[in-house]
A and B are shown apart, each in its own frame.
Chain A
């Protein structure tokens, strides 16, 4: 149980393109979803927290107009990297949990490469 599916797994696109990444909880309702960014050989950096039906809460230094997060249903959250540039190239990982006392379950990540 507690499977989180993240798509796509890899994206390569040109500078200026907007890219959408989907995160779905397959067998549970995700009241809260999280989006992380991970640089090579580093730990995860939390970008934002989203609760279903509410606006996302962004961490300090994360541009909300650059990284658009939508959590419209209890099983789906999306992260859109708008007008992506090479410096946005990274590994993006989502996670989800059902209830504040539950652990987070992670997707398999999306490797974004901007040329």
Chain B
């Protein structure tokens, strides 16, 4: 079945860019999502991309998709303390009902 991998931790300096990486195994994955989870809260949909897109930008967020390498990344520009959270990569095939989550990357911001 589908496997989604993420590194567990990322630490960046405030004001720098954060890049969170994700790899997946199923080449038929059609919908690719990034969710943010703050402590004690549910998941907030940050952005998503379809497999026919290479890049999507929304304010400070940029998503890059490399279908050949099955690699998805989320770049957060000008990282702020409020960006501290766990970021989940999730993917879904076109005919699949459920999405598959990665393990989440805990982003910490240092001054």
Taking beta carbons and an 8 Å cutoff, which residues of A are in contact with B?
2, 4, 6, 32, 34, 42-44, 46, 49, 93, 95, 100-101, 103-109, 111
Q: By CB atoms of chain B within 10 A, which of A49, A101, A104, A108 has the most?
A: A104
What is the CA–CA distance of A58 and B101 in the complex, to the nearest angstrom? 17
Instruction: Decide: B42 and A43 in contact? CB cutoff 8 A.
Output: no
Instruction: Decide: B40 and A93 in contact? CB cutoff 8 A.
Output: no
- For A4, the closest partner residue in chain B by CB is B42
Instruction: Decide: A106 and B102 in contact? CB cutoff 8 A.
Output: no
Question: Which of B43, B48, B98, B103 is A106 in contact with, Cβ under 8 Å?
Answer: B43
Instruction: Decide: A43 and B45 in contact? CB cutoff 8 A.
Output: no
Instruction: Decide: B45 and A105 in contact? CB cutoff 8 A.
Output: yes
B88: A residues at CB distance < 8 A: 43-44
Instruction: Decide: B42 and A106 in contact? CB cutoff 8 A.
Output: yes
14 of the cross-chain contacts (CB-CB < 8 Å) are A6-B42, A43-B88, A43-B101, A43-B103, A44-B88, A46-B98, A49-B97, A49-B98, A104-B33, A106-B35, A106-B42, A106-B43, A107-B42, A108-B41
Instruction: Decide: A103 and B31 in contact? CB cutoff 8 A.
Output: yes
A34: B residues at CB distance < 8 A: 98
Q: Is the interface of A mostly helix, strand, loop or mixed?
A: strand
Question: Which of A42, A104, A105, A108 is B103 in contact with, Cβ under 8 Å?
Answer: A42
What is the CA–CA distance of A93 and B42 in the complex, to the nearest angstrom? 7
**B interface residues, tally (CB under 8 Å):** 18
B97: A residues at CB distance < 8 A: 32, 49, 100
Question: Which of B35, B42, B45 is A109 in contact with, Cβ under 8 Å?
Answer: B42
Taking beta carbons and an 8 Å cutoff, which residues of B are in contact with A?
31, 33, 35, 40-45, 48, 88, 97-99, 101-104
Instruction: Decide: B101 and A109 in contact? CB cutoff 8 A.
Output: no
Question: Which of A42, A101, A106 is B45 in contact with, Cβ under 8 Å?
Answer: A106
A105: B residues at CB distance < 8 A: 45
B41: A residues at CB distance < 8 A: 108-109
- For A9, the closest partner residue in chain B by CB is B40
- For A107, the closest partner residue in chain B by CB is B42
B31: A residues at CB distance < 8 A: 101, 103
